[in-house]
């Protein structure tokens, strides 16, 4: 099992969700997050008041998938989240040692 984690721009979340739904992925966790990568925070000046935006708002998506589906999910996320501009985000895949559906106790691919 793999855990695919992606940090994407907030306004791309709906596209990613749809792309994953088209792939038959039926579970997804999203979290509102803030952070920075190469796209640093910036200083905004608004009506004379200057304030520092240290962290940029993003959305973190997490999807658990069977090993064989991971690449398809990765491709779909990248395609849907890409705008070509700076700050499109990042994606990584990690091994999920154990996956269990709490209600039924099903394990592994049955649990996703």
Residue nearer to another protein on the CB measure, 65 or 81 = 81
Q: Residue from 9, 19, 63, 76 that binds another protein (CB under 8 A)?
A: 9
**Using CB under 8 A, which of 24, 26, 43, 51 touches another protein?**
51
Contact characters 77-106, another protein, x per CB under 8 A: ------xxxx--------------------
Distances (CA, A) of 10 to 17, 58, 87: 12, 5, 11
Gap between the Cα atoms of 68 and 82, Å rounded:
23
Q: How far is CA 20 from the centre of its chain?
A: 11
Q: How far apart are CA 10 and CA 85, in angstroms?
A: 14
Q: Which residues make up the interface to another protein (CB under 8 A)?
A: 9-11, 14, 32-34, 44, 46-47, 49, 51, 53, 55-57, 83-86
């Amino acid at each position: 099992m793999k855990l695919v984690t992606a940090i994407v721009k907030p306004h791309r979340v709906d596209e990613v969700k749809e792309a994953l739904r088209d792939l038959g992925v039926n579970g997804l966790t999203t979290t509102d997050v803030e952070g920075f990568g190469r796209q640093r925070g910036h200083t905004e000046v608004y009506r004379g008041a200057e304030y520092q935006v240290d962290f940029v708002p993003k959305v973190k998506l997490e999807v658990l998938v069977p090993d064989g589906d991971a690449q398809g999910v990765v491709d779909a996320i990248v395609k849907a989240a890409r705008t070509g501009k700076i700050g499109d985000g990042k994606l990584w895949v990690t091994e999920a040692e154990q996956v269990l559906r709490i209600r039924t106790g099903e394990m592994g691919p049955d649990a996703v």
